[in-house]
Structure 1
């Protein structure tokens, strides 16, 4: 509990926690500790959660030893696995404020100015998109934002269907590519649509939706009695980092009267990019948009939003409760727009960031990692021991290792082992995925302070690991040697 009498305790505990985190930032030499899962489980199990308290300072020391020692550090230049970003410090300061005040922005009487600040920020993001009178609400992440958008699309399609909910749901169709986020299929399930609701649209061979194939798919669906509910265009696919051609997709959606949703969870940072904003040309013609600020806006998790072009569309998700937001209440209650009730004031982090460094600076940071990915792709393409798998428009790099004398099947077999070796050592973290039926490694570059030399270092470790696993490298770094000797890794 935080009261005026505990202000000194608050200052002390926050200072102690901040000092220990800062110390870890100064001392961290690799993105992960390399401790095994069994070792970490032993450490967690050794903590007595049933006993009496040990006091704030002791608990913070324990968290330093248990969590901070073994956390995955996204700020480290050798972290290049998933869509996790290092965070800008003004947003971290805002986290301290919003956690201490503990505002819930579901109703105005719990948040007052917080509600007004979130609404103003939503107006600003809508302006970036090109929604002249748009609206929206903050969410926990892209999965929730996409689900919310498809819920609104479902209700809009239902209003046009002229049939019962059950009958209409069974006939509704959502159009997306194989590269679309998994939340599209998951949302269809949760929304009660049929198992065949998501219709896969062909792409251009590089992961971008083909508008001609989309138009044909919508026409075919209508001809078979289906109800085209929504088209999900992706502005930044998770693996390839490519952007669907939004303008021609919008033309198809407008001509066929289909809801167009743009999943810009990854590529949303282009909205404020000084050099690449044109990649999102056409986004203003969407009916709804997802933006994850905890990706390309460098905000702490969680910070996402769903934006709609027409504010009235949000009414489809409204629900009233007498104790919370009765119909006659004229207060600006955000729960009328959100699928959540209790909800953190996550908008404060982006608000403070914009006031501290400005939108242009955020865009410059995103441009920096996009440029880095381009340079890394050139390096990979020129390296005879590596194979570049396509080109990105954002900040991912897909590649395979091809040690001398190893055929494609052998190269495929190395992917999982290389990723695991790096993970178990903690020295560098990369991801693995599957493209066109073949596994490959993936670098996701979201750290503006990472240099080309840093990534060259990761690639060297990758090549050394592959060579050792392939049995063509007689020696290896002593630190990695212990990992390679692990029977599980070898398997």
Structure 2
């Protein structure tokens, strides 16, 4: 039994050697990571699924190595050597960011102490730090002292909780039984909104047609006039408007719905107004673009993803509500955990989770080390880079861009003279896969307007114009090679 206990990080309970093992393990892991970060030169190794599957399958999990160092080196070979490195400047694919270094030190503390911020007697000051950060975020949004919120695992969970609160608030004002009202509830959002809106509707037991699409303007943003008409149509059809979801930073185009106008319409119609700012929340600390979120203070709930636009490690997200009392709609009390007579602050009353990591400490460390203004400047920098990338693409005859970016997303295609739209649609996915397997750069892809587009999603302040140019040159090289192969094959068939 003693040998087993030595593996736990509680030196004062067991023995001095445990402290040595603890310190050694943390140092060894840090040194191994630092070595890999120093040596990494591209975002991916290029290894195939089959190669990596064979390596993972070859590990016998029932025969331990018996040494942390040996296990770390095995993990380095399996994981670190084949990880996707978001900190590499030619990773320009998804909404993943390199992390602020102060947050890494917080991760060590979080994991070692292993606090759970569901109740006071499991977290103590952790509860207060999380609450302070929620208050700080609410202040940045423009909410007053009655605001509240909770840290979550990500934007999907935040959106789910916001719509759950909207459902309960709406049902509280409907003079009919829940079982007859719920099938009539409707959520209004554009087709550009995050897929978690539709997923949440299903989880909440709403009807299959509960999400009502609202038309967009010519810039793929919610059309306020169309929203007002859609709300009237829902009521005329016997439906009950439950919530309107505006997006501040759509996934494909990075578009920001006209939050101010949408908020005014929601207030006029008495409908819960949710703003999904998972992507665009970096604007809350922007020194130059905060005005793009004007009107967000009208929202009933806001989703923020610190692990996107605040450069935090996953997970670090939150839902913030304008009126804290609405959080109580989902409170459930258990005598062993959070009795109604509790005199200390318990966060489990407001969360969909019970056991929950102290992820707020990462943001706290970042703010206390770097400050919000520097985070805002970093977010502004990636938006600037997107505009510069757009200009590079426009100036290159081999490429076309879909539209000017709003945030840090740019959609484009390799389309030299003579290549038809249909040929381009067929070529783009192949090019993207070849680029990924080469490992030197990673871009995303999506379909808009029935056509396939490559996508830069820029969330690394260290990505330069030269990095963008090198990725475009790689894409051009791959594209020309694919076209030559196609022409050769066609000639052979003839």
Per the normalisation by structure 1, the TM-score is 0.95
Distance in 2, matches of 1:280 and 1:167, equals 37
Alignment equivalent of 2:9, drawn from 2, 14, 36: 2
Alignment equivalent of 2:213, drawn from 191, 200, 205: 200
Is 1:297–2:310 an aligned residue pair?
yes
Partner-residue secondary structure (3-state), 2:400: strand
Is 1:460–2:468 an aligned residue pair?
no
Question: What pairs up with 1:5-404 in 2 under 5 angstroms?
Answer: 5=16, 6-133=18-145, 134-404=147-417
Question: What are the superposed Cα offsets for residues 56-92 of structure 1, whole Å, 9 maximum, x if unpaired?
Answer: 1101111111110000000001111100000010001
Moved more, 8-17 or 278-287: 8-17
Q: Cα offset for 1:205?
A: 2.4
Distance in 2, matches of 1:187 and 1:132, equals 28
Q: What is the total number of aligned residue pairs between the two structures?
A: 475
Question: What are the superposed Cα offsets for residues 167-213 of structure 1, whole Å, 9 maximum, x if unpaired?
Answer: 11100110000100000000000000000000000111222100000
Question: What are the superposed Cα offsets for residues 419-460 of structure 1, whole Å, 9 maximum, x if unpaired?
Answer: 111111111111110111211110100000110100110011
Structure 2, unaligned runs of 5 or more: 1-7, 489-494
Q: Is the 1:403–1:466 Cα contact (8 Å) retained in structure 2?
A: no
Q: Cα offset for 1:404?
A: 3.1
Per the normalisation by structure 2, the TM-score is 0.95
Distance in 1, matches of 2:460 and 2:68, equals 33
Distance in 2, matches of 1:455 and 1:276, equals 23
Residue equivalent to 2:5: none
Q: Cα offset for 1:466?
A: 1.3
Distance in 2, matches of 1:463 and 1:187, equals 40
Q: Cα offset for 1:472?
A: 7.0
Q: Cα offset for 1:11?
A: 1.3
Distance in 2, matches of 1:153 and 1:330, equals 28
Partner-residue secondary structure (3-state), 2:411: strand
Distance in 2, matches of 1:253 and 1:359, equals 31
Q: Is the 1:468–1:474 Cα contact (8 Å) retained in structure 2?
A: no
Distance in 2, matches of 1:372 and 1:208, equals 22
Q: Cα offset for 1:474?
A: 10
Residue equivalent to 1:480: none
Distance in 1, matches of 2:158 and 2:435, equals 33
Distance in 1, matches of 2:461 and 2:90, equals 12
Q: Is the 1:291–1:306 Cα contact (8 Å) retained in structure 2?
A: yes
Structure 1, unaligned runs of 5 or more: 476-491
Distance in 2, matches of 1:176 and 1:437, equals 20
Instruction: Name the Cα RMSD after superposition.
Output: 1.2
Question: What are the superposed Cα offsets for residues 267-302 of structure 1, whole Å, 9 maximum, x if unpaired?
Answer: 001000000000000000000000000000000000
Residue equivalent to 2:483: 470
Q: Is the 1:464–1:473 Cα contact (8 Å) retained in structure 2?
A: no
Q: Is the 1:467–1:473 Cα contact (8 Å) retained in structure 2?
A: no
Q: Cα offset for 1:473?
A: 9.8
Question: What are the superposed Cα offsets for residues 389-430 of structure 1, whole Å, 9 maximum, x if unpaired?
Answer: 112211011011103321111011111101111111111111
Q: Cα offset for 1:166?
A: 1.9
Q: Cα offset for 1:316?
A: 0.8
Partner-residue secondary structure (3-state), 2:274: strand
Q: Is the 1:403–1:467 Cα contact (8 Å) retained in structure 2?
A: no
Partner-residue secondary structure (3-state), 1:145: helix
Q: Is the 1:366–1:448 Cα contact (8 Å) retained in structure 2?
A: yes
Moved more, 47-56 or 326-335: 47-56
Q: Cα offset for 1:142?
A: 0.1
Distance in 2, matches of 1:402 and 1:217, equals 38
Moved more, 31-40 or 434-443: 434-443
Distance in 1, matches of 2:465 and 2:474, equals 14
Q: Cα offset for 1:330?
A: 1.9
In structure 2, relative to structure 1, the CA distance for the partners of 1:473 and 1:30 (3 Å cut) is: farther
Distance in 2, matches of 1:52 and 1:166, equals 53
Question: What pairs up with 1:437-452 in 2 under 5 angstroms?
Answer: 437-452=450-465
Q: Cα offset for 1:386?
A: 0.6
